[in-house]
Chain A
């Protein structure tokens, strides 16, 4: 048998759709204008299934599966929205809000934040869990950029873009569980990082106000991400 691209047919929210076998449910949904919330996934970066916002129901499986890392299969019947999914998504997002100190009103990304927009879309008006109020650092040692760990949701977009697109691998994750945090080099101040090229890609892929340009005031940090699919494409063509 020759390795030809195999096309799978499946149903998403009752619609008959098709996708290539290596495509994920999220890819196919996006191509067909079906909204599935996500915070860690980003076109042009590898997928890690970290945020769990894109969980979907698949007929015949009791387990919810993340759409960003689940590839399509023949005959699959996917539901992207149900009271159960809405309940879990809202709960996950509420937990993210409680985990660190997300104060939208005075955040550089207020009005341009993916997490805030998702909160609005999911109709979150209250958080039903106690806030943790951890004491997190702000590292403003870099000449041009600042990282405020208070707003980090550990999506690892910065880690992936730095490694996969820029090739610097300045960012990584340290610690486990609730103590995990993103670090530069071997947990050194960003300003003294020897690997950072100051390209700023991490700043622009960050879904919240964790990474921002120095000198930005509240609500002033607009992130530009158009560059990412283009860069990915160019990288592939050069390979």
Chain B
């Protein structure tokens, strides 16, 4: 009976971006029966933007997040481009791509080095007081320094392009507000070799330690799901523009050439009473069978190639991990490192184009459409911004589908899988619970991004005694 069960609560979940808790429901034998990943914070961006001129939207939406504001800038600006009904200048398109790739590098670096490397370097059972970037710096100063340098590399590109590192207002409807200067281009080019060396070195290190995590690989979200991501016309990896592709767990393409601007035709969102984070599912399969994953692992599962030499080599090796799609969420880390490598190589390709210095970086137009959707691949997965405006250009309705929301079902199932394998209620050890958190870190969820809805959310409040018994329960739905 539920009233008799014991609930373990991990609150807060540490080393992730945002606020959440995990509850594990144990049966009388102390075995995990159910697990929930609760997102406990609440934002209101879809509602508070109503009535605002759409030209403000990129910068307004960028404020959702301090880690991946660039993705929101890009998805929002793309939605606004379609409200203007313009094709932005080719140089603006390329500059936005560099901007997005720089953010992939810094965001992935943050996830891998600052948040997850303590688990990888010091082990899952390490003392939690030491499991942080300072603990890493003590044991392996080079690794910690590499992480900081790589993040600096990404952030400095963002600053050189957009004027500041966090929340630059540079991406605007119709393009970007300022062209790239020769000095800034050259400065970025000079920083590339150092960043590339870090990416290669870290990949080698990660591959060398993967063997130590066999048990984690086998249980960290290792189950069949669909995978979704945007691919280029040649089915290559991209973060900026393309068609959506869905593959199944065997690696077979189940849907191709989906138009991202029609996301609502194939993506459904379900509200659960115990979380502010909506659960997205693939509509043709229904709920919850339509469980799918997005982000680095999914992108590498859906893409046939990267299009840069180093990353293509690494992708080939990555696909060797499993003959089907790579299923374990532990491999998100691996995929993240390959994407860092890809991003650095791709930035170099884009900067070598002389057109990158063109002064024509903005298309000017009036409001020409009343509805627009913008989609891109954020570091954590596919991101959609969808706006409707009135004749004056004021926002009347907005919907955002955020990467972390796509992964919600998979994160919950992963927590359950890890908890069932590692947690035994009769004898708790810190390492057990850390693994439950570590599986969440694989997904690198950004909770501040993902809980943007406003309104009366269904909510479940539980009163739990110190012994873990539920004394009272209040459900609002």
Residues of chain A whose beta carbon lies under 8 Å from any beta carbon of chain B: 105-106, 108, 110, 137-141, 146, 148, 191, 214-220
Chain B 44-81 interface 0/1 with A at a Cβ cutoff of 8 Å (1 = within): 00000001110110111001000000000000000000
Nearest-Cβ distance from residue A178 to partner chain B, whole angstroms:
21
- Residues of chain B touching chain A, judged by Cβ–Cβ distance below 8 Å, are 51-53, 55-56, 58-60, 63, 167, 169, 172-173, 177, 364, 366, 392-394
Given contacts A106-B56, A106-B63, A138-B52, A217 and B392 within 8 Å (CB-CB): no
Alpha-carbon distance A223/B167, docked complex (angstroms): 23
Contacts of B53 in A (CB 8 A): 138, 140, 146, 148, 214
Q: Are B60 and A106 in contact (CB under 8 A)?
A: yes
A58 to B295, CA, bound (A): 67
Contact for B394 among A140, A217, A218, CB less than 8 A: A140
A140–B394 CA distance with the chains assembled, in angstroms:
8
Inter-chain contact B52/A220, CB cutoff 8 Å: no
Instruction: Rank and list the top 9 A-B pairs by shortest CB-CB distance, nearest first.
Output: A218-B59, A140-B392, A217-B172, A218-B169, A106-B60, A219-B169, A217-B55, A106-B59, A140-B393
A106 to B395, CA, bound (A): 15
Q: How far is the CB of A45 from chain B (nearest CB, A)?
A: 27
**Which of A105, A139, A216 lies in contact with B63, CB distance below 8 A?**
A105
A-B contact pairs, 21 of them (CB 8 A): A105-B59, A105-B63, A105-B167, A106-B56, A106-B59, A106-B60, A108-B56, A138-B52, A138-B53, A139-B392, A140-B392, A214-B53, A217-B56, A217-B58, A217-B59, A217-B173, A218-B59, A218-B60, A218-B169, A219-B169, A220-B172
Residues B56 and A218 in contact, CB atoms below 8 Å apart: yes
Q: Which residue of B lies closest to A146 (CB)?
A: B53
Given A105-B63, A106-B60, A140-B392, A216:B169 Cβ within 8 A: no
The complex places the Cα of A105 from the Cα of B172 at a distance, in Å, of: 15
| Pick from B177, B364, B392, B393: contact of A220, CB under 8 Å | B177
Majority secondary structure, A binding face: loop
A214's contact among B59, B172, B177, B393, by CB below 8 Å, is which?
Answer: B393
CB distance from B96 to the nearest CB of A (A): 14
The interface centre, meaning the residue of A139, A140, A214, A219 with most chain B CB atoms within 10 A of its CB, is A140
Do A215 and B55 contact each other (CB < 8 Å), given the known contacts A138-B394, A140-B392?
A: yes
Please report the C-alpha to C-alpha distance between residue A157 and residue B364 in the assembled complex, in whole angstroms.
30
CA distance A140 to B395 in the complex (A): 11
Q: How far is the CB of B379 from chain A (nearest CB, A)?
A: 22
Shortest CB distance B396–A (Å)? 12
Tell me the nearest residue of chain A to B167, going by C-beta.
Answer: A105
- Report chain B residues within 8 Å CB of A105: 59, 63, 167
Q: How far is the CB of A203 from chain B (nearest CB, A)?
A: 14
Provide the residues of chain B in CB contact with A216, threshold 8 Å.
55
Q: List residues of chain B with CB within 8 A of the CB of A215.
A: 55, 173, 364, 366
Tell me which residues across on chain A come within 8 A of B60, comparing CB atoms: 106, 218
Chain A residues with CB under 8 A of B59: 105-106, 217-219
A105-B59, A214-B53, A217-B169 known; 12 new pairs, CB 8 Å cut-off, are A105-B63, A138-B51, A138-B53, A139-B392, A140-B53, A146-B53, A148-B53, A216-B55, A217-B55, A217-B172, A220-B169, A220-B177
Q: How far is the CB of B138 from chain A (nearest CB, A)?
A: 36
Contacting pair A217 B177 (CB below 8 A): yes
Return the chain B residue nearest A219 by Cβ.
B169
Instruction: Give Cα distance in the complex from A134 to B71, angstroms.
Output: 31
The smallest beta-carbon distance between B65 and chain A, in angstroms, is 13
- In the complex, the answer to whether A141 meets B167 with C-beta atoms within 8 Å is no
**B365 smallest CB distance to A (angstroms):** 8
In the bound complex, what is the Cα–Cα distance between A106 and B63 (angstroms)?
8
Residues of B within 8 A of A139 (CB): 392
**Contact partners of B58 in chain A: CB under 8 A:** 217-218
Chain B residues, CB < 8 A from A218: 56, 58-60, 169
